[in-house]
Amino acid sequence: VTYVGRAVTPVDGLTAIAPRLRETFLRHRYDADGVLDLLGPDVHAALGRGEPVPVRRACRDVGELGTLVRLLLVHDTVDRAAVDGALGSLDVDEAIGAGLLADDGDGVRAAVDVRPLDAGHGTRWMVSDLDGSMRPVDIAPDHVLGVGHASLSLLRATVPAHGSVLDVGTGCGVQAVHALESADHVTATDITDRSLAMTRATMVLNAIGDDRVDLVRGPWFAPVEGRRFDRLVANPPFVVGPPTVTHSYRDSGLDLDGASEVMVSGAADHLVDGGIACMLASWVITGDDWRDRVASWVPDHGVDAWVVQRDVADPALYVGTWLRDAGYDPRTGRGAALADEWLDHLDRSGVHGIGFGFVFLRTTGSPTDLLAEELSHALDDPLGDEALAYLHRVAWLRDHDVLAARLAAAPDVALDRVWTPSVSPGTEPWVEVATRLVRTGGPRWSHDVDDRVAALVAGLRHDGLPVADVVELLGAARGEEIDPASVGDVIAGLVRHGVLVPA
Ligand SMILES: C[S@@+](CC[C@H](N)C(=O)[O-])C[C@H]1O[C@@H](n2cnc3c(N)ncnc32)[C@H](O)[C@@H]1O
């Protein structure tokens, strides 16, 4: 595959003006809080929905911050003199030459998107291509993706990094910038010069020194051959389709889910012992069990792997969504033709669904432990915390015999009993149909259990007896013999999901 970029405007000059742009942003409070204060929550929400008019109205006569918001967030054509005033020491012509702005007849407009983002650590400014949310744009083949839902979901799912981080397919640098909250150094790769130029500008805008970042061009792991990192993070071009590239931000040039396969199968070779990879991935579903495919990519030895399927789309929904994402109209012309080719390809490949989610891997040197499971409900808590806790729990399970351990229910666990009305005359009016141990926090895992296990969990204490002894006492109390080994797997499953916690 040849990746041929067709940049709309050159952006190499952005890095040179980034320090002065940063000063301007700081002076006029063009940061996440400043913009929210200016617009208020309702108009800010309208901005998020791609509705420029309420934002424009809120920016009337409010000085430099309003000008910056109209220019950089609404993507309006703005009067040159007003922009000159707002840019401070940066001259408008210099900003045009650097690729920040473009001449637009009566005024100037943004040539790229520069926006503040607060993902929980204060403002970071991100440079990316204009996405068409505010005014129509062509999505170029080397379009640099801004911070979207997928980027944010990966940010929330990433285990905090220490030491060195590898960010494969850095795009605008959103994962790399945030990894540097806790990591010492990031190596960020991409196949397009435009992405690397924007990430470089993003780094300078956020006052991140050159000594903390390496930006390297090249596909997959080629730029880091033979190197290992403490963390790996990747939101790769995972879109499932024919082996062609129309847009580098989403197409890998590999057939179907080849991009995810390359990342999942190769990640462990680029992690130090105990290193963790957090990746977005997708997988085609061709057989009865979606887990088979992704499981086949995980090395047989040496990793703990947690695969979390967040969503499944049927081919029609999938193709329509991704065509619209790249600005095609799936109803007519080129859009309709592409939809036909794409659906044909999925059909020929026997794909009846496309799964999407996260893959977490930790290198261990032990036989691989793999769990692939669905988590399709909305999540409030960041998945990154849970992923780290999950990997710790798996490591604990490898080293301990649950029957000999002292365990207790986690503080967020509730026992949920489900009753339905009885249909048999002369019986109790309600019949219990399910008993569940539910974690009310984190991913809210729920395990159906029988009465025996519910009673056993109630009897476990950190300062009490080991599990096997409590099982014996429970058997005596119920007048039945319970073989501790018969509950071992259930107990291990509860530990794995954090329902039971070791002392
Ligand atoms: C979905 S975007 C992710 C951007 C960013 N990391 C984020 O989280 O929003 C995928 C990125 O991977 C890059 N890319 C495409 N093919 C690649 C390859 N073979 N190796 C490395 N990066 C690639 C694209 O240029 C694009 O910037």
Which residues, in sequence order, are bridge partners of residue 431? 420
- Pair of tokens at residue 340: 């036909």
Q: Are strands 185-190 and 213-217 parallel, antiparallel or unpaired?
A: parallel
- Pair of tokens at residue 265: 């199968």
Q: Is the Cβ–Cβ distance between 272 and 336 less than 8 Å?
A: no
Residue 337 Cα to ligand 1 midpoint, Å, equals: 26
Q: Calculate helix-pair angle for 315-325, 333-348, nearest 10 degrees.
A: 140
Distance, CA of 103 to CA of 97 (rounded, Å): 10
Residue 194 Cα to ligand 1 midpoint, Å, equals: 11
What is the identity of the amino acid at 352? H
Q: Is the Cβ–Cβ distance between 217 and 189 less than 8 Å?
A: yes
- Pair of tokens at residue 243: 């082996």
**Residue 245 CB–ligand 1 contact under 6 Å:** no
Distances in Å between the Cα of 460 and the Cα atoms of 133, 468, 496 are: 54, 10, 16
Q: Which residue has the tokens 């197409």?
A: 251
**Residue 195 CB–ligand 1 contact under 6 Å:** yes
Distance, CA of 271 to CA of 454 (rounded, Å): 40
* 427 Cβ contact partners less than 8 Å away, ≥ 6 residues apart: none
Among the listed residues 40, 3, 14, the one whose alpha carbon sits nearest the alpha carbon of residue 99: 14
Residue of the nearest CA to atom 22 in ligand 1?
169
Residue 158 Cα to ligand 1 midpoint, Å, equals: 17
Distance, CA of 437 to CA of 417 (rounded, Å): 9
Q: Is 500 helix (H, G, I), strand (E, B) or coil?
A: strand
Q: What angle do CA 47, 50, 52 make, to 5 degrees?
A: 65
Provide the residue-wise pLDDT of the chain in tens; the chain has 503 residues. Answer: 333 344 456 788 999 999 999 999 999 999 999 999 999 999 999 999 999 999 999 999 899 999 999 999 999 999 999 999 999 999 999 999 999 999 998 899 999 999 999 998 899 999 999 988 888 888 888 999 999 999 999 999 999 888 999 999 999 999 999 999 999 999 999 999 999 999 999 999 999 999 999 999 999 999 999 999 999 999 999 999 999 888 889 889 999 999 999 999 999 999 999 999 999 999 999 998 999 999 999 999 999 999 999 999 999 999 999 998 888 888 989 899 999 999 999 999 999 999 999 999 999 999 999 999 999 988 888 899 999 999 999 999 999 999 999 999 999 999 999 999 988 888 888 998 999 999 999 899 999 999 999 999 999 999 999 999 999 999 999 999 888 889 999 999 999 999 999 99
Q: What angle do CA 300, 304, 310 make, to 5 degrees?
A: 105
Q: Is the Cβ–Cβ distance between 346 and 314 less than 8 Å?
A: no
pTM > 0.75: yes
